[in-house]
Structure 1
Amino acid sequence: MLNRLNKNIDESTKGFVRTVDKSNIPTCNILGVNIAAINMEWLIKYLNKNIDKLTGDYICVSNVHTTVTSYEEADYCTVQNKGIMAIPDGGPLSTIGKKRGHKNMDRTTGPSLMEEIFKISVEKGYRHYFYGSTEETLEKLSRKLNENYPNLEIAGMYSPPFRALTDIEDTTIVKMINHTKPDFVWVGLGAPKQERWMASHQGRVKGLMIGVGAGFDYHAESISRAPKWMQNSNLEWFYRLMQDPKRLFKRYLFTNTKFLWLIVRGK
């Protein structure tokens, strides 16, 4: 399938160098990760202003799980800090930020960011590539996006195999993505895989890469988001746990407990 998709693509892989200064992005260091001390309004304005300069770079959507993993794994912490920014998807991160003096820091989730960008994409002319998940989910996602956001420009979609790619396959995929000239490359591989993928393709992939985890499933309407009151009360994790207890119980029990313990200890 990959060879068929790439058959007529002759564009070579090009390098993209960061041309924006990330020093003006306010951050709050939490367990070694420089979490962006921002809110959704700030982020949308920043992306609209700099999207052309952000091609080849990436944004991590960070929560308690990724932050604890970063604390335990130095290389993953480097990945989190290497991109243009790591936004506070997890409510506890923004809560800590506010307590440390970042009064305007609010939770900025991956699915909500996708929604806000989709709503302005026709006006701005943004093109979107979706990399990750399954072919079934991508088909549903395409259908729902066309229904909910008419005239949204979907540059392309690709579900990679659930195994390590060869160098040739990887290069072919990069060429395939770049050929579509997207502004945003939404990556739905799940953490920590999606962040590692973005970091390894920094400067190679055209478009701003954003790792959104289950964002594909939410916008495909395969799973539902928590009610607004639960989102605003930092209880969306509990809603997700009720949807998928077998997979998430151990993660939440371990990471949430460890996160609280580390914060209490002043780490």
Structure 2
Amino acid sequence: MEAYDSAKFRQLVNSADLVAPDGKPLSWSLQALGAINQQQVCGRELTLHICKAASFSRIPIGFYGSSKEVLKALITKMQQRYPDLDIAYAYSPPYYPLTLEEKNVVIEEIKASGTRILFVGLGCPKQERWMAQHKNQVPAVMLGIGAAFDVLAGAKPQVPGWMQKLGLEWLFRLCLEPRRLWYRNFRHSPRFVIFFALEILKLLLLSLCILAPEVDLKLQESPLEIIQHKKL
């Protein structure tokens, strides 16, 4: 919905090399609209899979986002899980905007670290904006993973598997952080359902428009012509 409401942000998202749905309802919606093989890409699971592969291939990774305490716990847990994982960089940005000089220092530190995969956990839409802004400056693959840092570090609980399968991860997170998430959920979720229903309606109408001439043509043919047509 952020992309729907803002043409600038929509262009920013569309300019990414790869965009994947991190929520079950969104993946279901895409399947209903024709992307039948589209599955949910969970930030936590994606991070674990990539870190496992990076540890095996000795590819340096980095973390950008969250608090210093969370990053410290995250690094400890990831090194326990993957002893050969090379965590070359970790930075917790301040809540205030960085100056141009501070931004340049951060970029130079990322370059100097040799990081080739940078996990960015700033939350949407902040992380998308940050990655787009630094796409041509950071010599690494950047992945926006939302709140995965907090979950992997143990700072926040992981959503139960049954809730994730039922597409209720949003409800679980809302119960954990109602003050932070209630406005976004109750502003965006109903609108998403409405716009999704309209897209389904458009597809149904389009299908009827395509099928209507074929049905009309068959009605104009005699039974004998239809049989001869089938034989041919």
With structure 1 as the length reference, what TM-score do the two structures score? 0.72
Q: Secondary structure at the match of 1:224?
A: coil
Q: Secondary structure at the match of 1:240?
A: helix
Q: Secondary structure at the match of 1:87?
A: coil
Give, in whole Å, the separation in 1 of the partners of 2:164 and 2:72: 27
- 1:152 aligns to 2:85 (yes or no): yes
Question: CA-to-partner distance for each residue in 1:106-126, whole Å, 9 max, x for gaps?
Answer: 000111100111222221222
Q: Give me the CA root mean square deviation.
A: 1.3
What amino acid is the match of 2:66?
Answer: S
Give how far 1:221 is off: 0.9
Q: Secondary structure at the match of 2:131?
A: helix
Of 35, 39, 45, which aligns to 1:112? 45
| Matched ranges for 1:112-191 at <5 A | 112-191=45-124
Give, in whole Å, the separation in 2 of the partners of 1:101 and 1:72: 23
Equivalent residue for 1:90? 23
Equivalent residue for 1:262? 195
Give, in whole Å, the separation in 2 of the partners of 1:160 and 1:121: 24
How many positions carry a matched residue from both structures? Answer: 200
Equivalent residue for 1:196? 129
- Which sections of structure 2, spanning at least 5 residues, go unmatched? 203-232
Q: Secondary structure at the match of 1:88?
A: coil
With structure 2 as the length reference, what TM-score do the two structures score? 0.82
What amino acid is the match of 1:96?
Answer: S
Give how far 1:227 is off: 1.5
Of 207, 214, 235, which aligns to 2:140? 207
- 8 Å CA contact 2:68, 2:91 repeated in 1: yes
Q: Percent identity?
A: 36
Of 245, 248, 252, which aligns to 2:185? 252
- Which sections of structure 1, spanning at least 5 residues, go unmatched? 1-67
What amino acid is the match of 1:204?
Answer: Q
Larger Rg: 2
Equivalent residue for 2:215? none
Question: CA-to-partner distance for each residue in 1:58-100, whole Å, 9 max, x for gaps?
Answer: xxxxxxxxxx011001111111111101111121221122112
More helix, by proportion: 2
What amino acid is the match of 2:100?
Answer: D
What amino acid is the match of 1:92?
Answer: P
Question: CA-to-partner distance for each residue in 1:3-55, whole Å, 9 max, x for gaps?
Answer: xxxxxxxxxxxxxxxxxxxxxxxxxxxxxxxxxxxxxxxxxxxxxxxxxxxxx
Give how far 1:228 is off: 1.5
Give how far 1:149 is off: 1.9
- 8 Å CA contact 2:58, 2:84 repeated in 1: no
